[in-house]
Amino acid sequence: MEIVLIALLTITAAAVGTLTGFGTSTIMVPVLLLWLPLPQTLLLVGVVHWFGNIWKITLFRQGFDWRLVLWFGIPGIILTWFGAQFIFSVSDQALSRTLGVFIIAYTIFLFIKPSFKFKQNAITAVIGGALSGFFAGIFGIGGAIRSAFLTAFNLPKAIYIATAGAIGLVIDSARLLTYWTGGSRLLELPYWSLIIFIPASLVGAQLAKKVVDRIAQRNFRFVVVAFLFGVGVKLLFWP
């Protein structure tokens, strides 16, 4: 029964994660913590998230920005390693609430100034990659920070999703390696359950693509910002 419920959770989270470019971990981590310790939760979600990024790249392969992938990805890998070291020793509630306040303030600003966007330059992307990598390592939810920066570039939706997937793939590879070498293992679930969870993430991604195809480009950014606001509220009040 647990495996069936986690599979349904994976479909839902993968659909949201593909649609918005983030959110898979944000949905899965709090629920899975009801069953699993934090290191095991982050390892399992990291595997699902890794494959979810593969689906984003595959389903939206017509859009890609290699410059952003490199600018985000390289500092993201480095800071992911540092962030992942904290999950075995640091209480994260204060940091979670701080992140929540930042995301809420940022999304309110975007609603007030919908035309705002960063210049697509190396400095902005490096900062965004470093922050998203660090928070991905600690919480497994670095995609929210990454999306906050990517939405400020106001990219076409296919480029936004494919680029977010490629950046996430690079960062997730680093943090999964760190979790594994740090001793995280799926002790509470059989490893064959991944044969169910991975295809479930593909089903969720395919459902999301159908939705994305129906959303007008002019409305897509507001959809992402609305989800970001929800993540900020969750981190502030339920860290």
Tens-digit pLDDT profile for residues 178-216: 888 888 888 888 889 999 999 999 999 999 999 999 999
User: What residue type is 30 in one-letter code?
Assistant: P
* Contact criterion met (CB below 8 Å) for 164 and 145: no
The pLDDT tens digits of the residues spanning 134-166 come to 876 776 566 777 787 788 777 889 888 998 898
Q: Say what the pTM is.
A: 0.78
Q: Please say if the pLDDT value at position 8 is more than 90.
A: yes
> Where do the structural domains in the chain lie, given as residue ranges?
2-237
For residue 3, CA distances in Å to 136, 184, 192 come to 25, 19, 10
For residue 19, CA distances in Å to 26, 155, 191, 211, 212 come to 14, 14, 28, 7, 6
Q: How far apart are the C-alpha atoms of 90 and 154, rounded to whole Å?
A: 35
Q: For the CA atoms of the chain, what is the radius of gyration? A: 16
In this structure, what is the dihedral angle of CA atoms 97, 103, 105, 106, given to the nearest 10 degrees?
A: 160
For residue 71, CA distances in Å to 84, 139, 173, 199 come to 20, 22, 16, 30
Cα dihedral sign, 134-223-101-6: negative
* Contact criterion met (CB below 8 Å) for 182 and 84: yes
